Structures are given as C-alpha cells and as structure tokens.
Amino acid sequence: MCQQEKSHLAHLLDNNREWAKRTQARDPEFFKTLSMQQNPDYLWIGCSDSRVPANEIVDLMPGELFVHRNVANVVVHTDHNCLSVMQYAVEVLKVKHIMVVGHYGCGGVKAALDGAKFGLIDNWLRHVVDVKEKHQAVLRDIAELKQSDVLCELNVIEQVRNVCRTAIVQDAWNRGQTLQIHGWVYGLADGLLHELIQAVGSDELVSSKYEQAMVSLLTRNQDKA
C-alpha cells in the first residue's frame, strides 16, 4: 500500500528535482543563501485556497515573505496557531508589514453567505457568518450575484481590525516598533490585488482607517445594488 501511494506522487518528486535543478542553474548560490536565514519584511495572512500562491502574487522570492494561511483568512483571538505566527513575525523577525489578503470567489465566504453545512469547518466559518450578520444591512442592498464578493471585502476589513486589536500588535506599537497593517483582496479573474483598507500604523488610526474603508466599500458598491 505504501509503495503504491508513493508511486502515485512520484511525479511531484520528479517535479521537485527538476525545479531544484533549474533554480540552481539559474542561481548557483540560491539554496545556500536561502538556508542561512530568513529576513522578511512582510507577513501575509491569507486564505488556504490553492489558487492564491502568496509569493508569486507579489513577485517575491522564498525568504522574503512570511506566510500564514487558513480557510477564509480569518484572524481570531483564540487561534493560537495564527497568533503564534504573528508573534514570531513581529517580535523575532521584526516584520514591518502585515497584509490580510482575501480573494474573490472564496469558497469559505460563499459557504458562510449561503448557510451551507460541511461539518467541522462550519464552526470555523462561524467567524465569517458573524461578519455577514454584522453587515446585513450592507449586503441586503447589494445585488445577489455580487454579495459574495462584497462579503469577501467586508471579511478582510474586519480581520484587519482584529489584527490591530491583538496584544501582539498593540504591544509592538506601544514600544514604538514600526508596523503597518494592510487589507487587500485578490482577483482570481485578473490576478490583481486591490487595497481595501489603507495602512494602519498606530492604535490611534484603527477606527478612522476602518471607517474610511467602509465608506469606500459602500461607495464602490452603490451601483451593484
């Protein structure tokens, strides 16, 4: 059984060897340099969706982008996995930017919007359902076909505020560390990133940046009703 399973993935191992060979031919020092340390300026908190490869989207090499991914790019204060990544990125790696990145066509967001039931993951997606319920008035005024995209945007904006409210980010700002939080959404159809909430670099800016993002979202989507 093990041998059979291994043979099913042989093409991936072959792909890896070919990739390593091409990479080393292009840059003989690539793996030596990469193995010495990672020194990224950015933490990407994104969705687990296989169509959203973080490094490729922003054209950065391995080692230049620290990444955490989960279904529907959710940040909650009880998720020790996400918080551990954030703490290491901010306090050890000293990243200067945290980007919360959603994407249009997100299956997790659509499931939350439609009330779909898939089992254990329904508990996780309850966080997105909370965003939906908080912004029911906004979604009600949006054409049904556009509601999923708008909820993707709302979810990013809310998760940015969650990041800003973590003790990790609050402590970094209090000690004067340079750290900006960003909210983006990625378009699967065109490969482009769109800024939803402008850089938040201090606790004093959290509320105003959040409000600006909400006004921009409402204005941008008025013609989608």
Alpha-carbon span 216 to 225, nearest angstrom: 15
Q: Which candidate in 103, 127, 135, 161 is catalytic?
A: 103
- 65 - beta bridge partners? 42
Alpha-carbon span 153 to 105, nearest angstrom: 11
Q: Which candidate in 51, 77, 126, 220 is catalytic?
A: 51
The yes-or-no answer on residue 106 being catalytic is yes
Q: Which candidate in 49, 82, 135, 161 is catalytic?
A: 49
Alpha-carbon span 18 to 24, nearest angstrom: 10
- 47 - beta bridge partners? 70
The yes-or-no answer on residue 47 being catalytic is yes
The yes-or-no answer on residue 161 being catalytic is no
Q: What angle do CA 17, 19, 34 make, to 5 degrees?
A: 100
Sign of the C-alpha dihedral, residues 82, 85, 91, 94? Answer: negative
Strand order in the sheet with 42-47: 65-70, 42-47, 97-103, 180-186, 193-200
The yes-or-no answer on residue 82 being catalytic is no
- Do the beta carbons of residue 103 and residue 185 sit within 8 Å? yes
- 42 - beta bridge partners? 65, 97
Q: Give the pairing type, strands 193-200 and 180-186.
A: antiparallel
The yes-or-no answer on residue 49 being catalytic is yes
Q: Which candidate in 47, 82, 152, 164 is catalytic?
A: 47
Q: Which candidate in 106, 135, 164, 182 is catalytic?
A: 106
Strands (E), 40-153: 42-47, 65-70, 97-103
Give me the active site residues, please: 47, 49, 51, 103, 106
